[in-house]
Amino acid sequence: MLRTLLIAVLATSSLAAQQDGTGAVFVLYQIKPGMDRDFELGDQRHLEWHRSQNDRWLWPGWTIATGEHQGFFIDATFFHPWTDFDHPIANPAEDGANWGVNVAPYADVRSFANYDGIPALTTLGPDKLSAPLMMVCYVTVHPGSGAKFETAISAALRAATAPHLVMRPVSGASDYVIMLSAQKQAELPSNAEVLESFIQAAGPLVDRTRTETWRYRPELSYVPR
C-alpha cells in the first residue's frame, strides 16, 4: 500500500497502542478521470490484502466533498507513538506490488505528510474518526509563531462541543490542521463558528486559512478486526 511505503515503512501495532501516540500520516489521491469505480474496487482489493496480513493499523478514508481538493480521496492514520514509524511492516515488497496492481493504475498520489497531534487541544479519539462528516481547516501560521498560535486558540477550542483534533505539521506540510467531526450537515454551521472563533483569537498570527468538508467512506477504510 503506497499509503505505507511513501511515508516510511510502517509497523504493525494494536489499536490500543495507536491511541497512545500523537503521530499521524495523510495521503492525498487524485483519481484519474472516469476511473472512480475502478479506484474504489482496486482499493477494496488492496485493503483485503492488508486484512489477510492481519495489519493492525487503522486507516479511515474520506472523499473530499467541498474545498480546494473537491473530488480527491484522502486517507490517514492517527495516534501513533513516533517509534511506530521506525519499524517495517510485514511483506513490504508484496505490499507495494499489490498496491501497484490494484490502486496505482487509477489514481495519482498528490501529497503525503506527517503531523503531530496536540493532546491538550484535542477531544477527538479513534472512535470518532468514522463520523459521517469531517470539517477540516488548514491554518498557515507566521513562521516561529506556532507556540503562540496554540496558546491563542486553546480557549476557543475548550468551548467547542464538537469533537476536534489539532495537529501541527512535521514534514511534507506547513499548515496546522484542525478537524471537527459532524454527524450531519446541520452541524456544519456550528463547526464553522468554532473555526471562526479561533481564527479571531489567533488574529495576526495567521496568514491564511482554507476549509474542506470530508465524507467518510467506510467501504474504503481499513478497520482491523
Look at residue 1 and tell me whether its pLDDT is greater than 60: no
Task: List pLDDT tens digits, range 26-36.
Answer: 999 999 999 99
> Could you tell me if 25 and 100 lie in one domain?
yes
Whether 54 and 109 share a structural domain: yes
Stated pTM of the model: 0.89
Our count of domains for the chain comes to 2
Give the residue from 113, 182, 222 showing the smallest Cα distance to 211: 182
Q: Which band of pLDDT confidence, cut at 50, 70 and 90, is reported for residue 19?
A: low
Indicate the pLDDT class of residue 225, thresholds 50, 70 and 90.
confident
Q: How does residue 159 score in pLDDT terms, banded at 50, 70 and 90? A: confident
> With pLDDT > 90 as the criterion, what percentage of the chain qualifies?
79
Q: Which domain holds residue 51?
A: 2-115
64-100 pLDDT, tens digit each:
999 999 999 999 999 999 998 887 566 778 888 999 9
